[in-house]
């Protein structure tokens, strides 16, 4: 972890609009610290309830996310974050600037944790920490890899607030902002499933199930699944063609994006063996993002 003096200095520089010191691989430290504060009991419960944002807060959050996706970390942007009950932390690292938006300690309401890196591509989401085991930690590894452009985690358990099935959430605002700024890049939402709870053999035998949040997969998504089979998980199946379970068809993030005509949302359900591999294998993480990201 970076020491507290360095963290204070980098945050002060960000808020003052000054140049940040460049530190190799600093992003992993910054995100891990924010994640540890969001989930202080190692994934048990953040100890906070859920406060549904108002329409004006959602609009303000989407505007904030747009600026962060554009690489803006000025004092004015930090003030916008504070007005929403968040803290903005930024570090310069090789390849760009990484910024993290985290709930202020005394204003926790299950609004999520968000990271933005100017040198990456695509967005990754883990909306079911800790229920979908290891998905949150996999995103932490991606933060260290520096591959995605943006990442998002939930900060209250699914039983308190299921951010993949609620309307009017900051996760949706984050997604809409990403689609607005990068309409040709993917938003990939990671989930985990238990094979013993599946209704069909095709689902139970799957290593991964990929969908667009509906049962009409595109040719591009089918190509992504073929890539996954070759490079990541041989038992990857395409929802709507190979399997009829776990397709994310009630996912509110996917629904909100479709309403804006953004059609690059990817819903990925992963069996535990794949999640374990992704946690420790950087090459597998890169291959998964390259397969699902495709070429646009």
Average of per-residue pLDDT values in the chain: 85
What domains sit in the chain, N to C, each tagged with a CATH number?
4-293 (3.40.630)
Whether this prediction's pTM lies above 0.75 is answered by yes
Bigger pLDDT: 255 vs 27: 255
Confidence grade of residue 28 (pLDDT, cut at 50, 70, 90):
low
- Distance in angstroms (rounded) separating the CA atoms of residues 266 and 210: 7
Buried b (16+ CB within 10 A) or exposed e, 184-201: ebbbbbbbbbeeeebeee
The CA distance from 118 to 105, in Å, is 26
Reported as a single tens digit per residue, the pLDDT across 174-201 is: 999 999 999 999 999 999 988 766 667 6
Beta strands in 34-186 (DSSP E): 86-93, 96-103, 113-117, 123-126, 150-153
Mean pLDDT of 11-18: 37
Tell me: the pLDDT tens digits for 144-154? 898 999 999 99
CA distance 88 to 37: 14
- Quote the CA–CA distance of 137 and 126 in Å, as a whole number: 9
Strand intervals (E) in the chain: 86-93, 96-103, 113-117, 123-126, 150-153, 187-192, 208-211, 236-238, 265-270
């Amino acid at each position: 972890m970076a020491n507290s003096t360095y963290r204070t200095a980098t945050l002060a520089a960000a808020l003052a609009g000054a140049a940040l010191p460049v530190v190799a691989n600093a992003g992993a430290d910054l995100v891990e610290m924010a994640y540890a504060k969001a989930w202080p009991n190692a994934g048990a419960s953040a100890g906070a309830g859920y406060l549904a944002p108002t329409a004006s807060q959602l609009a303000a959050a989407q505007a904030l996310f747009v600026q962060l996706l554009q690489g803006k970390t000025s004092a004015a942007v930090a003030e916008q974050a504070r007005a929403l009950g968040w803290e903005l932390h930024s570090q310069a690292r090789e390849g760009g600037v990484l910024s993290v938006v985290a709930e202020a300690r005394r204003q926790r309401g299950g609004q999520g944790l968000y990271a933005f890196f100017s040198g990456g591509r695509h967005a990754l989401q883990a909306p079911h920490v800790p229920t979908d085991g290891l998905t949150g930690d996999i995103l932490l590894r991606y933060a260290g890899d520096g591959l995605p452009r943006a990442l998002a985690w939930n900060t209250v358990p699914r039983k308190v607030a299921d951010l993949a099935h609620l309307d009017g959430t900051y996760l949706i605002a984050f997604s809409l902002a990403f689609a607005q700024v990068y309409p040709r890049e993917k938003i990939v939402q990671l989930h985990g499933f238990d094979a013993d709870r599946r209704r069909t053999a095709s689902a139970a035998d799957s290593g991964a199930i990929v969908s667009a949040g509906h049962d009409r997969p595109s040719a591009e998504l089918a190509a992504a699944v073929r890539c996954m089979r070759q490079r990541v998980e041989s038992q990857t199946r395409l929802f709507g063609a190979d399997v009829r379970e776990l397709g994310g068809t009630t996912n509110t993030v996917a629904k909100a994006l479709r309403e804006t005509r953004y059609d690059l949302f990817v819903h990925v359900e992963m069996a535990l063996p794949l999640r374990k591999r992704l946690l420790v294998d950087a090459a597998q993480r890169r291959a998964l993002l390259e397969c699902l990201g495709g070429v646009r």
